[in-house]
Chains A and B, each alone.
Chain A
């Protein structure tokens, strides 16, 4: 069982927007503004797409955005494209002796 909870799957049609939630606790997401998100295509290494909750690394499309409210972080992808079909993982610092926690991953299907 993962420390952060994500929906197993989400889907959307090209051009639409989708949001993936990532629910933690007051010990991780709720306390630290260091949530990051990763995109993973089949057979590939994860790619870093969001950091510090809502910041985009250079080169990542502005169609990807992040936010946080309380113990839940969210990733929104707007203007869905076929290439967005992938697995998405959230990650947070958790402090104490836990340090790093991942979500279980969400499979995005572009219909």
Chain B
């Protein structure tokens, strides 16, 4: 069974870039059956889809975040990554990486999540 693990700094200063990596174990990120996605959850609020990537590098983004985010994949390391540019306090959240069925769009495997706080 695949497992996902997020990693990255827990504290980012305003206006800087938030960078996170998700490491996939127990399965290949190059499986054609899945997208690999980032979701975030601000404190006390609901889930927000950020974007997802196919192993080929094709990306899909939430239109409300599209100008400030980049998702990339490194198949050699079985990892995918997220960058959020010019962060503000509103980007403070728990960030989850997930596996998404390419055909039915359900998120069947989730990482445990990592908390990122934007503060000076």
Nearest-CB distance from A42 to chain B (Å)? 11
Residues of B within 8 A of A100 (CB): 37, 49, 52, 62, 105
* CA distance in complex: A34, B107 (Å): 11
Nearest-CB distance from A68 to chain B (Å)? 14
Cβ B46 vs Cβ A91 within 8 A: no
- Looking at A16-24, A45-53, A69-77, A78-86, the stretch in contact with chain B turns out to be A45-53
Q: Count the B residues whose beta carbon is within 8 Å of the partner chain — how many?
A: 21
* CA distance in complex: A38, B63 (Å): 23
26 A-B pairs within 8 Å (CB atoms) are namely A34-B104, A34-B105, A34-B106, A36-B104, A36-B105, A36-B106, A38-B107, A45-B113, A46-B107, A47-B110, A48-B106, A48-B109, A51-B101, A51-B108, A52-B104, A91-B106, A91-B107, A93-B105, A98-B62, A98-B63, A99-B60, A99-B62, A100-B52, A102-B49, A103-B46, A105-B46
A residues in contact (CB < 8 Å) with B? 2, 32, 34, 36, 38, 45-48, 51-52, 57, 89, 91-93, 97-105
